[in-house]
């Protein structure tokens, strides 16, 4: 590596800027030593030339130093100039550094466009004209120097601001001497998102000075604070005033003040302020004063609450995810056994109600797991375009029976409401929970308002990404909630209802569903005023598709024992012996031949020995050592179109999404008919005719 070092002349400046400014560095990259020597000779007067003989060496130089401009040869071994430029642009520290390509042969338009696309700002062709090269490089070096000067100026201005603030806290000079300085300070203070103030230490702490930025923060002018001695204190939340007074008393003794409190803005909203300052020595004949800053930390506190809520969700989600797979396996075994019993012709009619009650209890257990996975945001969603007017019509039939005679439902739909991108079944469940909560909040009856409207969200909207959203709201005129309850209402299992009348999962589930869908849930409530809950869901750019009727009944009938045709053979893979045997029995009763494997490793062995034996694979996802996804991938190495169905009690969503697109996923517990339908569909999509019909 070659460096040409020359001392630079000293220049006068303020004490904060170094007297010796380092020369701007120029990185020259070329595998030809002669070209590097020529560049050094030409640019020696412009700056310090650092030479690299390959793209790799150039990248190492960029890790160490900052450069004003890069001269990059196009044709180099191992890594050419285009590849090097692309890597330079990918690095944050160097992506804005100008790149000038040096080229001897690539002068056609296609190569020039390739260079500009890779990040070049200019081209110099070899053999280069020394005047042209020096002029082009000098432009970027001058720009680099000007940028450094601007940065140094900004640093000086920052130090001046800090010095001015310290001076203001230490002493108030005579008005005549401070007029010009005060104008400069006020201009700088207006640009900062902080309110600077001074006020009395004694109650009611009258404001002596308030910067203009207070109007943007509170909605009130500075004159309102300075003209009414008790105005600032009167807007503090009544529950926080005692703490604010105690902080002032401590400050009078210690000299330092810091307090966080709620303050009501002009629009009626409650903001959270961080108020900090120092007690300045009193002037002769004057009471002591407090000089400080007021910072709006409302959004910060809101984000902290969201983080705490997310951590709670994650904790419960980890617990739920750990037990969901095993619990759903047990429920699947129960439901499969019940289905087999119901198919027995000799089953006494007196037993059927008992089976129905047992099935209902098992399904309730499955629903509970679904709700726990929902609020922990770990359930599998199947989002699609949901047409809101159609959803409203469907919900009328679902919700009506649970409202009772004292509560009325009223829909208000905005004009041309967009379709929402969400899992319709989970959205219906969330809406049911919200409506039931609204009903319970109005024991004397009333009207529940449901509305839907479009909303556009810009950047910096807190918990929502910029974009279009559909806002579905549920509003009641019931008892409402105070701040203490509102702060905990999204916690899992938190409920204000009597024991046995609520699980505390309704709002938690709705919140988890909204967040997993890419939206959020917002609540506005006050005691005696009622509650409004809003589900914000992303807008769908697809057209809603009507639900297609299931065709499993005809498919099952065609496969029943005694039907004409050969019996397709299923390879059933599950590490749960009970569920494996029950499922195998059920499939045989539906007309299938079944071979079983107690795990992924055994399934791989069967497939390896007889790759043409099985027509379809049904496998559990979560198994030790070899997962169901591994089994399917191994099988499709032998036969790419091998029909497959994967079942799961619970698994990580990202892992399940890695499955091939034509592999059907069934969530445990599932009705036996759903598995039969999935198998039949897989056979029809892959190869409807069994592969060994002649041998059976």
> Could you report the per-residue pLDDT of 64-75, keeping only the tens digit for each?
999 999 999 988
Give the angle subtended at the CA of 141 by the CAs of 126 and 111, to the nearest 5°: 35
E strands along 95-232, which residues?
Answer: 99-103, 122-125, 195-200, 207-210
- Please name which of 636, 643, 649 lies closest in space to residue 678, comparing C-alpha atoms: 643
Share of the chain above pLDDT 70, in %: 79
pLDDT value, residue 334? 78
Q: What is the pLDDT of residues 614-673, one digit of tens each?
A: 999 999 988 888 989 999 999 999 888 899 998 887 644 445 666 777 788 887 777 778
CATH of domain 384-538: 3.30.565.10
**Token representation of residue 53:** 């003989």
| pLDDT above 70: residue 19 | no
- Cα angle vertex 249, ends 245, 250, to 5°? 115
Q: In Å, how far are 89, 270, 450 from 405, measured between CA atoms?
A: 67, 38, 18
547: pLDDT strictly greater than 50: no
In whole angstroms, give the CA distance from residue 312 to residue 504: 14
Crossing angle of helices 672-686/298-342, nearest 10°?
A: 90
- The rounded distance, in Å, linking the Cα atoms of 582 and 563 is 22
175-296 CATH fold: Beta-Lactamase (3.30.450)
Token pair of 685 as six digits: 């999509």
The Cα–Cα gap between 200 and 248 comes to 10
Peptide bond before residue 669 is cis, with ω within 30 degrees of 0: yes
Sign of the CA dihedral running 345, 348, 350, 355: negative
| Architecture per CATH, 552-695 | 3-Layer(aba) Sandwich (3.40)
Q: Hunting for tokens 């739909």 — which residue is that?
A: 413
CATH level 3 topology of 25-153: Rossmann fold (3.40.50)
State the Cα–Cα distance between residues 180 and 79, nearest whole angstrom. 60
Rounded Cα gap, residues 455 and 446, in angstroms: 28
Tell me: the pLDDT tens digits for 516-525?
A: 899 999 999 9
Chain-centroid distance, C-alpha 238: 36
Query: What are the structure tokens assigned to 520, written together?
Result: 């959020």
Token reading at 442: 């109005």
Q: Can you point out the beta strands (E) in 236-300? A: 256-264, 270-280, 289-296
Is-same-fold flag (25-153; 552-695)?
yes
User: What is the b/e burial string over 488-526, where b = at least 16 CB atoms within 10 angstroms of the residue's CB?
Assistant: ebbbbeebeeeeeebbbbbbbbbbbbbbbbbbbbbeebe
- Give the residue with greater pLDDT, 588 vs 312: 588
pLDDT above 60 (res 696): no
Of 61, 59, 31, 34, nearest to 48 by C-alpha is 61
pLDDT at res. 288? 86
**pLDDT score, position 231:** 94
Look at residue 498 and tell me whether its pLDDT is greater than 70.
no
CA 281, chain centre distance (Å):
50
**Residue matched to tokens 């039949």:** 680
pTM, 2 dp: 0.39
* Residue 126: Cβ within 10 Å count: 15
Cα separation, 290 vs 381, in Å, equals 56
The average confidence (pLDDT) of the chain is 80
Q: Distance between CA 476 and CA 529 in Å, rounded?
A: 9
Which residue's structure tokens are 């020595």? Answer: 281
What is the CB neighbour count within 10 angstroms for residue 327?
A: 20
Which residues are CB-contacts of 142 (< 8 A; sequence separation ≥ 6)? none
Domain regions of the chain by residue span = 25-153, 175-296, 302-375, 384-538, 552-695
Residues 274/284, Cβ–Cβ less than 8 Å? no
The answer to whether the CB of 572 falls within 8 A of the CB of 596 is yes
Q: Which of 292, 295, 311 is nearest to 303 (CA)?
A: 311
């Amino acid at each position: 590596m070659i460096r040409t070092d020359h001392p630079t002349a000293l220049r006068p400046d303020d004490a904060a800027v170094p007297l010796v400014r380092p020369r701007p560095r120029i990185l020259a990259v070329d595998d030809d030593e002669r070209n590097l020597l020529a560049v050094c000779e030409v640019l020696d007067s412009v700056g310090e030339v650092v030479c690299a003989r390959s793209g790799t060496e150039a990248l190492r130089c960029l890790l160490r130093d900052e450069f004003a401009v890069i001269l990059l040869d196009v044709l180099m071994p191992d890594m050419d100039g285009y590849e090097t430029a692309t890597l330079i642009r990918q690095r944050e520290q160097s992506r804005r550094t100008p790149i000038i390509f040096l080229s001897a042969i690539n002068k056609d338009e296609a190569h020039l466009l390739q260079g500009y696309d890779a990040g070049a700002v200019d081209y110099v062709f070899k053999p280069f004209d020394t005047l042209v090269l020096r002029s082009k490089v000098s432009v970027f070096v001058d720009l680099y120097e000007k940028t450094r000067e601007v940065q140094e100026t900004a640093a000086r201005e920052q130090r001046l601001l800090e010095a001015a603030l310290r001076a203001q806290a230490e002493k108030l000079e005579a008005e005549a001497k401070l007029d010009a300085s005060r104008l400069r300070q006020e201009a700088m203070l207006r640009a900062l998102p902080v309110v600077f103030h001074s006020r009395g230490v004694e109650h009611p702490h009258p404001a002596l000075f308030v910067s203009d930025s207070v109007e943007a923060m509170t909605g009130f002018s500075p004159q309102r604070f300075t003209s009414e001695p008790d105005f600032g204190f009167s807007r503090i939340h009544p529950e926080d005033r005692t703490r604010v007074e105690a902080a002032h008393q401590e400050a009078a003794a210690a000299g330092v003040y810091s307090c966080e409190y709620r303050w009501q803005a002009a629009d009626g909203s409650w903001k959270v302020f961080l108020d900090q300052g120092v007690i300045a020595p009193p002037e002769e004949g004057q009471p002591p004063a407090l000089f400080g800053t007021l910072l709006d930390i409302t959004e910060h506190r809101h984000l902290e609450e969201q983080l705490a809520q997310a951590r709670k969700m994650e904790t419960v989600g980890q617990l739920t995810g750990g037990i969901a797979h095993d619990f759903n396996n047990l429920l699947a075994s129960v439901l499969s056994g019940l289905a087999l019993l119901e198919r027995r012709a000799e089953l006494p009619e007196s037993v059927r109600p008992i089976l129905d009650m047992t099935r209902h209890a098992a399904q309730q257990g499955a629903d509970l797991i679904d709700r726990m996975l929902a609020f922990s945001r770990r359930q599998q969603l199947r989002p699609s375009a949901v047409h809101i007017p159609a959803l409203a019509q469907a919900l009328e039939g679902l919700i009506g029976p649970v409202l009772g005679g004292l509560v009325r439902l009223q829909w208000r739909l905005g004009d041309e409401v967009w379709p929402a991108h969400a899992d319709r079944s989970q959205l219906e469940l969330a809406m049911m929970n919200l409506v039931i909560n609204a009903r319970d909040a109005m024991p004397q009856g009333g009207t529940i308002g449901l509305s839907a409207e479009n909303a556009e969200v810009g950047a910096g909207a807190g918990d929502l990404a910029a974009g279009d959203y559909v806002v579905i709201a549920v509003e009641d005129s019931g008892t409402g909630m105070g701040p203490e309850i509102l702060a905990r209402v999204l916690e899992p299992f938190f409920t204000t209802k009597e024991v046995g009348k609520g699980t505390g999962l309704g709002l938690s589930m709705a919140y988890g569903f909204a967040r997993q869908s890419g939206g959020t849930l917002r609540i506005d409530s006050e005691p005696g005023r009622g509650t409004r809950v809003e589900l914000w869901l992303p807008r769908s750019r697809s057209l809603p598709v009507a639900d297609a009727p299931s065709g499993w009944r005809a498919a099952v009938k065609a496969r029943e024992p005694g039907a004409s045709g050969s019996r397709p053979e299923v390879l059933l893979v599950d590490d749960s012996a009970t569920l494996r045997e029950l499922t195998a029995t059920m499939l045989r009763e539906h007309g299938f031949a079944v071979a079983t494997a107690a795990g992924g490793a055994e399934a791989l062995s069967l497939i390896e020995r007889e790759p043409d034996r099985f027509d379809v694979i049904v496998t559990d996802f979560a198994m030790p050592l070899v997962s169901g996804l591994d089994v399917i991938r191994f099988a499709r190495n032998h036969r790419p179109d091998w029909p497959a169905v994967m079942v799961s009690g619970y698994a990580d969503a990202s892992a399940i999404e890695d499955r091939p697109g034509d592999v059907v996923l069934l969530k445990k517990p599932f009705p036996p008919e759903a598995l039969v339908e999935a198998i039949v569909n897989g056979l029809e999509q892959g190869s409807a005719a069994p592969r060994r019909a002649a041998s059976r």
